[in-house]
Every structure is written in C-alpha cells, then in structure tokens.
Structure 1
C-alpha cells in the first residue's frame, strides 16, 4: 500500500515500528481512504477525458435484439476481455437499435475500471484530425488519442468520407492495430465500407485489420426512437 503513496520509506518504516496497535489501525484506515480517494479521482478524470456525449449504462439495457458471436457473449463483453486482448468490436445494425448506447455504456464501464477511453463520432474525429493537421499538430493529436486503450468510433459510415479524411482515419486505425481496442458502431455492412471511404483498397485493408482481431455484434429490430417518438402518439 505504501508504494502507492509519496512518502519517504525510512520515515514511514520508523513510524510504523514505533506505532501502537491503535495507531497502526488509524494509519491503515488513513492510507486506505487516501487510495480510495485517488481511485475515485482517477475514474472521474477518465470519464471526463473520454468525451462521452451522454450518461449511458448497462442498467436496464435491452439485450434481446442483439446477436452475439457463437463463442462469445455478454459475459465476455462486460468483463472487457476484448480490451485486454486488443480486440475490436463492430456493432452493426439499423439506426436506433441501441448500438451507441451499448458502446457508451461499455466505454464508461472501462473508465470505471481504470481503462483510458476516447469516444468520437466518425465525423467528429475527422474534424478534430483535420484541424490538428491544419495547425501543424497532427502528431501530438495522434499521440493524445493513442494514450487510450479503448477507442470508440460512433456512427461510422453515416456520412461519406473524402480521400484525405480516409487517410487520416486509416492512420488512426492502423496505429491501433494490436495495440488497443476499437468499437465501431455502424449501419453499413462491410461490403459498403469501400463506398464510405471512397477507396476500396483502403477499405479492404481496414476490414482486414478489424476482422483479424475483431467480433461482429448484430443489432436487429425497430428503432427505439421511432417507437417512442412523440409524433407517433
């Protein structure tokens, strides 16, 4: 426990050697409270740095519309095994079926467990990279994003990406290969990724990296937003 605190070892050792049982109990409770406080601060810092657009959790989440891989399921997802293995997830399905909700909830869960996470929409990520490139700080921006162990790219394919944007996005994904995990949410099947990126060869390389250490989770059913929209009532 003392290794996590910035105290002089000789002073600490001397204090512990001379302490009474009651004093030792107090010191232990003090250290425990300090470490707990630091852990809480770390979790809050990670949640803030992640950039989640909403406070989504797994509490009450409807799992009925999901189709998991045959050898992999909810337990592995919630255990964050895929993050430990630098594996990717593609959450694929129609709009409004809970893909972004699940991605955010898993990202927040990772932060709660001390895992650095960054969340972006695909469009937001590209805008951020373009701005960094224009300001001659692209390397710093890539390094900052690269500190995350889990990267979430939401709404991939909702808007087409031009050639320069495709290169920037590919650089992020290529740098992440076997070094961190990526969660994509998309309503575009793999065969349409070339159309989104405007480059079939680049799309093939991206898909190859994603499939190699990745899993596909399919979402089905009607849009939750449509079913609960005020205009339909």
Structure 2
C-alpha cells in the first residue's frame, strides 16, 4: 500500500494520513501521542523542527523503554528488586557509594566479577537482582539463575550431548548472576561443569554471585580443594567482594513489625 501526497489536507484527513503512515512505518508511539503533541505544539507555537523533534524523541524514548523491559524479562529474574528500594540504613555493612558505583555497570563492561557474601536475609539476592536489572537497563545482556538450577541444567545437557551448546549460551551474556551458591554440596561432576561455565566467561564477561558461605567455607560446596581454589580464583580476580554481614534484615523487620502490632494492640 502507498500513501498519496496531497497539499492542503483538512485536519481530519491529515490526522488519518499520519495514523496510516505510522502503521506502515511501525511508529506506535508517534501514532498514539501525535494528537496530544500536535495540540501542545500549536498551543505553544512550536516550530516545525521542534514539533518533529518532540515526536521522534518520544518514539526513541519509548523504544528504549521497551528494549529495557525485554532485556529484564530475558534475564529471568524471580522478582523485581531495585537499588532505590534497598534499605541501606538497615544494612550498615553495605556502603551505598560502592553500590551506586557498581550500578553504573562499568565492571560489567570490563568483564569483572562480583561476589556478595553474607548470611541469609542480609540483602545479597536483592543487590544481585537490582544490579543485574541496572545492567539490563544499560543495554547489556543479563541472565539470572540459582546455582542448583544451573548445575542441574548442565548435568542434563551433558547427558543429552548438548553441553557445549549450553555452556556457549551462558558464555554469551554480558552478566551471569548466580544466586544461592553455597547452599548445596556439589559432587565432582557438578563442580567441574560449573567450573567450565566460569572458565568460558573468564576475563571476557562478568559473573556475579551471591553466597551464604565465606570463601573459606566453599569446600562444603566444592569438595575437591584444588577445584574449589580454582573457582574462588575465577570469581575474585580483579573483581569486587561485598560482605553483607550476619544480621538478617528480614528477621529484624519481622520482629519490628510484631513489636509494633503488639504495641498498637
């Protein structure tokens, strides 16, 4: 279908022509916002160039927003978490300046690792997801997974003779977020498969992990001492290590809420 050009179109015909052109050119935001922006342009006596710039910027901004939403969805985060929603006052072990610097995602662009170490309820997963979300919003490819799920997937891939393909898929993303590392004991095969993923990404793409165990306790997860040392080396070399502490924020919040309810009752 082609559009015929006419001079001196009526307002109604011009609006219909814009609508049809936006459909053909796949400009949904301009199509949706054109009437409102046109009225504002006339009211503010905006120049033709200014009006065109407003339309195009609206389309670009909306496309950027939709791309961010697609990347966040592709990352497969289990829930929404943000830096803004993190309670730094309740987590004094965590330096806000460090987290806000990490939120710029320069470490991801440089392919550096990040380790979040601390007890359950201290904000590790929140920060892991929030920083992963920041990376996705910055235009980077991100994937979130739990350590047990990743290892199970690798074992199944090895059994089905598609291990190379699976490792390559995890190797392509700019940031791989591995949560709950240290909650389980891995046999040698599982540990070696996880090590292959880390090796595939070494000094090329970033890995961020959250673990309830300090590095000294990782021998419970990776029972082979040499393999354990090699994995710790892969996850710490040149990267950031953030210790979130031992005091559970969730537990403290629950107790505070119970105390408040009892006082008000």
TM-score by length of 2: 0.71
Of residues 193, 204, 210, the one that matches 1:185 is 210
CA distance in 2, matches of 1:224, 1:181: 28
Which residue of 2 is the match for residue 103 of structure 1?
128
Change (3 A) 1:23 1:138: farther
Matched pairs, number: 210
Counterpart of 1:195 in structure 2 is: 220
Cα offsets for 1:124-172 (capped at 9, x unmatched): 1112222222332222222222221111111101011111110110011
Q: 1:67, CA displacement in angstroms?
A: 4.5
What residue in structure 2 maps to residue 222 of structure 1?
Answer: 247
Aligned partner of 1:146 in structure 2 is 171
Q: How does 1:35-74 map to 2 (within 5 A)?
A: 35-63=60-88, 64-67=91-94, 73-74=98-99
SS in 1 for 2:151: helix
Deviant stretches of 4+, over 4 Å: 21-30
Q: Is the 8 A contact 2:147 2:179 kept in 1?
A: yes
What's the C-alpha RMSD, in Å, of the aligned pairs?
Answer: 2.4
Residue of structure 2 in register with 1:135 after alignment: 160
What is the aligned partner in structure 1 of residue 187 from structure 2? 162
5+ residue gaps in structure 2?
1-24, 26-45, 259-265
Shift of 1:225: 2.6
CA–CA separation in structure 1 for the residues paired with 2:85 and 2:51? 40
CA contact (8 A) 1:86 1:213 kept: no
CA contact (8 A) 1:118 1:148 kept: yes
Q: 2:238 aligns with which of 213, 216, 233?
A: 213
User: 2:173 aligned with 1:173, yes or no?
Assistant: no
Q: Is the 8 A contact 1:194 1:202 kept in 2?
A: no
Larger Rg: 2
Q: Higher RCO, 1 or 2 (CA under 8 Å, sep at least 6)?
A: 1
Q: Deviations over 1:154-193 (max 9, x none)?
A: 1101011111110110011111111111111112111222
Tell which deviates more after alignment, 172-181 or 219-228: 219-228
Gaps of 5+ in 1: 1-6, 8-20
